[in-house]
Each structure stands twice: as C-alpha cells, then as structure tokens.
Chains A and B, each alone.
Chain A
Amino acid sequence: MSIAWYLAVSALLFVIGAGGVLIRRNPLVILLCLEMMLNAANLALVGFSRMWGNGDGQIFALIVMVVAACEVTVGLGLVVAIHRRRLPIDVDEMRELQG
C-alpha cells in the first residue's frame, strides 16, 4: 500500500475528530475527539517516517502521545472539578469567560 493511502485515512480521521469537537457538547466526548485528531496526526507522522525510512517521525509520534496523555489528565481533572461544583457537564452552558 502506498503512503498516500495512509495519509488519506489520516486526513479522514482528523476531519471526523474536528467535526466531533464542533458538534458534541459533552466535554468528555470533546476530549475523545481531540485524542482522535492527535492520533490522525500520529498516523501521518508514522507514515512519513516509513516513507523516509527514518525513525525520527516515530519519535515525534511518541512525544505526541506523551502530550496527549498530559492533555487528557488535565482535561479530565477539569471535568471532575466541574462535576464537584455541581455545574452542568455541557460546554454550551459553561460560557462565563465568553466575551
């Protein structure tokens, strides 16, 4: 399979994730969609790494995984904090900072 097929799958995954971020209102599902977008980028990075026969892209993918794990930890901490304040778990309701 040529690398272009993997890039096409990566592009579709990224767009599905971006659409999910836009249409879902539960912050948990939005975090899941962010994970999907990061994974789409990982797939493209690993594909390019295979294209060049060079391991650098795979290191990038691993570092992206670390950053995603940090993002999930902080995001889930925020969701738990929202839940403890008895606020609705809904990003459309949480708009105090909206200008």
Chain B
Amino acid sequence: MSVLIFFIAAIGTLGAAIGVIALQKPFYSVLALAAHLVLLAALFLLLRAEWVAFAQVVVYAGAVMVLYIFVVQYVGDEASPLGQAPGRPVTFAAFACGIALVSELFVAVLGTGLKAVATDGAPYTPGFGTPGQIGTLLLTRFLAPFEIASYLLLVAAVGAVLLARRRRGLADGIEDDAPRISVAELLGPRPAGTGTMHEAGGSVSVADR
C-alpha cells in the first residue's frame, strides 16, 4: 500500500513541478506549485514526518500560496514565453546543465557509501516525528536556531514592508527620496491636519492654525 501511495505522490509531485516551469501564466504556475506542495506533504507523511507535513500544508500550501496569488493578481497575470525566442542559447544551456546536474546527483545518491540508503530506514520508534518530539527538540537542543528564526522572520517582515511601501512621485515614473524630517521640524509645531494628538483631543482645531 505504501508503495502505491509513494508512486502516486512522487509522480504527481514531479508532474506538478514540471507544470510550474512549463505553464505560461504565472497564476497556473502558482496553482501547480500548491498541488506539488500537497503531494510532497504526502511523501513527508510516508517518511513519518507528521509535523513537517502538517506545517507544509498549512504554512506553504496555505499561507505562502495565498501571498503568491495576491501578488500575481496585483502585478498582473500576463503570460511570459518560456524562452526569449525558439532556439535561445540559454534554454539549451539550461537543459544541458539540468541533465548534467541530475546525472551528478544520481551518481551521488546511488554510489554513496551509506549502506542505510538502500533500507527502509531505522526501526520505527513510537512518537517519531510527532509534534511532541519536534517541540521537545525545538525547545531543548535547537533552542538557538528557533530563536534566531523568529528574529529572521521579524527582519523579513519589516524589510518587505519597507520594500513594497508606496513612494511619492511614482505616477510619473520618477522616484522621490523618502521625505527628510529635520529635528527642528519634529520639535516645532506640526502642520495642520496631520493628525497630532492635540487635534485628536480637540484642544486645537484644524481651523485655528
């Protein structure tokens, strides 16, 4: 049974991966990647990695793919051709590099000295890959990577907001620098109608200034 599930999931995930790079419209590529991720989660389940499979479906196939679809719809979904022109040298070079890389990886996998690669893996212990085991590992042995990952997520979120924020003058295709605010401006009275606390409290009305 597990052999059947493996082949269904493996062929499906490889087919969806080819779909990602072969489909013309980015929207269909995103949908193919979502299918690829769900089928990959099935492979993770076969490898007894329950929690990784769960995170894969919820975080990747759920959240990240929704983010992708938002951006694809925002940017516009024009089809992009697979290469610049038929017979584009880069495309041929890409195929040649791909074939070289896959043969190299297969030689590495099949010619490895690791005897256990040809087995089904170590004897299955109860609780392997469950949320309990992963949580224990994350909070004991891997506490430092866990904490650093949270800082990484924070920096990435702030960076993405900074990158994608609205800048002035974009309608003309001209990019202005961010407005410079001097210390004197900060200390002096603010311009009317900019939402100061005094205005909000009603002690200064906009019309007074």
Contact = CB atoms under 8 A, between A and B. Distances in A.
Task: Rank and list the top 4 A-B pairs by shortest CB-CB distance, nearest first.
Answer: A53-B122, A20-B21, A70-B156, A22-B94
| Interface size classification for chain A | 35 or more
Given A8-B109, A85-B170, A3 B121 contact: yes
Contact of A9 (B43, B125, B128): B43
A28 B75 contact: yes
Interface of B: 2-3, 6, 10, 13-14, 17-18, 20-21, 26, 29-30, 33, 36-37, 40, 43-44, 46-49, 51-52, 55-56, 59-60, 63-64, 67-68, 71-72, 74-76, 78, 80-84, 90-91, 93-95, 97-98, 101-102, 105-106, 109-110, 114, 116-125, 128-129, 133-134, 137-138, 141-142, 145, 149, 152-153, 155-157, 159-164, 166-167, 170, 173, 175
A29 B68 contact: no
A14 B47 CA distance: 19
Interface in A1-42: 1-9, 11-20, 22-26, 28-29, 31-33, 35-36, 39, 42
Given A4-B109, A5-B6, 8 more contacts: A2-B120, A19-B94, A25-B80, A33-B20, A52-B122, A55-B129, A72-B68, A76-B71
B97 A58 contact: no
Contacts, number: 251
Contacts of B102: 11-12, 15
